[in-house]
Amino acid sequence: MVKGMYGTENEIFLSLPCILKVQGLTSVINQKLKDDQVTQLKKSADILWDTQKDLKDL
């Protein structure tokens, strides 16, 4: 879940680089993104949130 990362405000799951061990996911690698990359990431998260929130009502 990326809520709070890169300015995202909603509970959304995105594919981000992470560290996996035998115990499972141990941490997400916090990359330095350029401003335009952050804008694109937020746009993707918003699009997914708009779809996801509609599914909650089904």
* pTM, two decimal places: 0.70
Residue 1 has pLDDT above 90, yes or no: no
Mean pLDDT over the full length of the chain: 87
17: tokens are 């680089």
* CA pair distance 11, 52, nearest whole angstrom: 9
Rounded to 5 degrees, what are φ and ψ at 18? -145, 170
**Residue 58's pLDDT band (boundaries 50, 70, 90)?**
low
- pLDDT tens per residue, range 31-57: 899 999 999 999 999 998 888 887 766
Greatest Cα pair distance, the chain, in angstroms, is 37
Residue partners of 53: CB distance under 8 A and separation at least 6: 10
